Amino acid sequence: MKKILLSVLAIAAVTFTAAAQEKTAPRTEYSVSVSENAIQIKPGESKEITLTLLRSRSFSKTTAQLGLSSSLPEGVTVEFSPSEGLIDSSVVKFTASSAAKEGTYTVILKSTLNNKIKGTLIKVAVSSIATATSGITAN
């Protein structure tokens, strides 16, 4: 009997842990997350992150539009692939030209669904020297 009870408890613990690790859609509206909150790019290089949209049921069939709510540092460009449509995620590619101005900048990635706008902050460090960066998140 003890073995059966321990087995049931172990299965329940594994199931609960697995469920807690999954990201669930919000009850209303949608939420935005990114794979990295801070990136470092060397001049002449690119870096990709993933932007994910978690939608509630009422936003599940709404077209998304992705873009920027802030200006970019000199010599840095951003591409979204895809940038609009019935998407759940997009690859965001940051590219620093060889003439990009070095420094640390905050860039706001914007998403619009059903006339509702949300943004996420990304800390972008343009540097020819490798350093560790810390992350910032806002929804």
CATH code where residue 42 lies: 2.60.40.10
Answering whether pTM is above 0.85, one says no
Distance CA 6, CA 2 (A): 6
Is residue 53 assigned to a domain? yes
Walk along the chain (139 residues) in steps of 10 and give the mean pLDDT of each run. Answer: 47 42 70 96 96 92 94 94 96 96 95 94 90 49
Q: Which domain holds residue 40?
A: 25-126
Is residue 16 assigned to a domain? no
Answer yes or no: are the C-beta atoms of 49 and 39 closer than 8 Å: yes
Domain count, the chain: 1
The reported pLDDT for the residue numbered 27 is 73
Distance CA 4, CA 136 (A): 46
